[in-house]
Structure 1
Amino acid sequence: MSTFTSDGLRLAYDDIAPAGGHERTIILIHGFSSNRHEGWRRTGWYAAFERRRIRCIALDQRGHGESAKPHEPEAYARASLARDVIALMDELGLGRADVFGYSMGARTALATALAAPERINHLILGGVGGKLIGERALPAGNPMAEAMLAADPDTITEPMLRSFRQFADEQGEDRQALAAMTGVTNPPFDTAAMADFPSPVLVVAGQRDDGAGDPEELAARFLDGHAVTVPGCDHFSAIPHALTKAAVFDFLDGLLDDPYAR
């Protein structure tokens, strides 16, 4: 594990370069209540990138894993999470890189790309789709925070909320920090800036990921957008799936079929 400082917070990351050199570099940004090990190493992405001679740099987002975990909601504005990614690139002397985010990590990845488009070679947004457009991070009543802070997880009746709470407990995450993260209201993404974003973008989500929406709808917002739907997968099963990996590597190699292009 390595660390760096962003906004005064100590953040953890892995930097894995294949033996004998690498041909490209990708930054990996995990989802809510996950961490770099659970989101990327256990699901086989570290090994997959190493086999492809790709240097992968996986960040524990603030509030997660081995990174700092402030309990103040204002620490978790999406713009701050994007600054962490740019600060990591600066720390490592990376002028440009590919960026791959999943779920909440996809939101951080997109915010990073729109804030600094000149730093992005290829952008991969996983576990999201058309519902990303115009969304607000804070639902009425903030049920995710309530799920994270519930004394008894058996009282959580909504399946998706129960899944995230169970996941957080399994990873030993700081549930107070996670609840604080859900207390931020972020502005909608700038669709005009998305339309002008110059680099290729892949949107990939599971067919049964009801919370994501249609990947095609989101991909269509970009100049060079591509969409892939992974059959039979929900939000959690799509990330380790071989078809997701195939879509990502085809995209990086420029081999996706024309019907996905926008």
Structure 2
Amino acid sequence: MQFFTHDGFDLAFLERQPESGEGDPVLMIHGFASSHYVNWVSPGWFKTLNDAGYRAITFDNRGHGASSKSYDEADYTPVKMASDATALLDHLGIERAHVMGYSMGARIAAFMALSDPDKVVTLVFGGLGIGMIDGVGDWDPIADALLAEDPAATSHPRG
């Protein structure tokens, strides 16, 4: 696992070039309350794409997995989370990538394509609800869940 810093967050990511040559990059964005491992590594997507000759890239969204967390609701907008994905591509020197998102990750991928269309070659949406058609939905429950105190911890500062 590697890390890079963007917008005050230390974001964990995993990247692997194919065994032969340099493949097209595929960025995989995980869903809410998940991680790169749960959505992309464990089910085999990361390995399958890499074995097929793609440069496989995935990361833990801010507030998830090994990436740093914030207790400020304003840090968890789809635009800001999409900017993390774009920043990862910039960090890796990648001009354009295929982008796959699952659930919340699909929504983040959609916002990434809207904000930085030149970075996205193709989009694959998995588990994306009708909210992308009817409206972007309410991100407050996601922000509230990310702000919830960890029951194993004695206290958390709130921003």
Q: In the TM superposition, what whole-angstrom CA distance separates every residue of 1:168-201 from its partner, at most 9, and x where no partner exists?
A: xxxx9xxx8xxx9xxxxxxxxxxxxxxxxxxxxx
CA RMSD, aligned part only? 2.5
Aligned-pair distance for 1:136? 2.0
Other structure's SS at 1:66 match: coil
Q: In the TM superposition, what whole-angstrom CA distance separates every residue of 1:85-106 from its partner, at most 9, and x where no partner exists?
A: 1111110111101000100000
Contact 2:83 2:112 (8 Å CA) reproduced: yes
Other structure's SS at 1:101 match: strand
Aligned-pair distance for 1:143? 9.2
Q: In the TM superposition, what whole-angstrom CA distance separates every residue of 1:146-189 from its partner, at most 9, and x where no partner exists?
A: 7x95999xxxxxxxxxxxxxxxxxxx9xxx8xxx9xxxxxxxxx
Seen in structure 2, the aligned counterparts of structure 1 residues 46 and 74 have a Cα distance that, compared at 3 Å, is same
Aligned residues: 152
How far apart, in 2, do the equivalents of 1:89 and 1:150 lie?
Answer: 32
Contact 2:73 2:144 (8 Å CA) reproduced: no
Contact 2:17 2:23 (8 Å CA) reproduced: no
Other structure's SS at 2:49 match: helix
Seen in structure 2, the aligned counterparts of structure 1 residues 106 and 143 have a Cα distance that, compared at 3 Å, is closer
Q: Which amino acid letter does the alignment assign opposite residue 81 of structure 1?
A: M
Seen in structure 2, the aligned counterparts of structure 1 residues 150 and 46 have a Cα distance that, compared at 3 Å, is same
Q: In the TM superposition, what whole-angstrom CA distance separates every residue of 1:47-69 from its partner, at most 9, and x where no partner exists?
A: 21122111111010000011011
Aligned-pair distance for 1:23? 2.8
Other structure's SS at 1:33 match: coil
TM (norm. structure 1) is 0.53
Q: Which of structures 1 and 2 has the larger relative contact order (alpha carbons within 8 angstroms, sep 6+)?
A: 2
Identity %: 36
Counterpart of 2:26 in structure 1 is: 26
Seen in structure 2, the aligned counterparts of structure 1 residues 63 and 41 have a Cα distance that, compared at 3 Å, is same
Other structure's SS at 2:79 match: helix
Q: In the TM superposition, what whole-angstrom CA distance separates every residue of 1:214-258 from its partner, at most 9, and x where no partner exists?
A: xxxxxxxxxxxxxxxxxxxxxxxxxxxxxxxxxxxxxxxxxxxxx
How far apart, in 2, do the equivalents of 1:88 and 1:143 lie?
Answer: 22
Aligned-pair distance for 1:129? 4.0
How far apart, in 1, do the equivalents of 2:13 and 2:130 lie?
Answer: 30
Counterpart of 2:16 in structure 1 is: 16
Seen in structure 2, the aligned counterparts of structure 1 residues 71 and 150 have a Cα distance that, compared at 3 Å, is closer
Counterpart of 1:219 in structure 2 is: none
Counterpart of 1:136 in structure 2 is: 137
Aligned-pair distance for 1:39? 1.0
Alignment of 1:108-127 (within 5 A): 108-127=108-127
Q: In the TM superposition, what whole-angstrom CA distance separates every residue of 1:74-132 from its partner, at most 9, and x where no partner exists?
A: 11111110111111111011110100010000011000000011111111111014332
Aligned-pair distance for 1:145? 4.0
Aligned-pair distance for 1:18? 1.6
Q: Unaligned 5+ residue runs, structure 1?
A: 153-171, 181-262
How far apart, in 1, do the equivalents of 2:69 and 2:99 lie?
Answer: 23
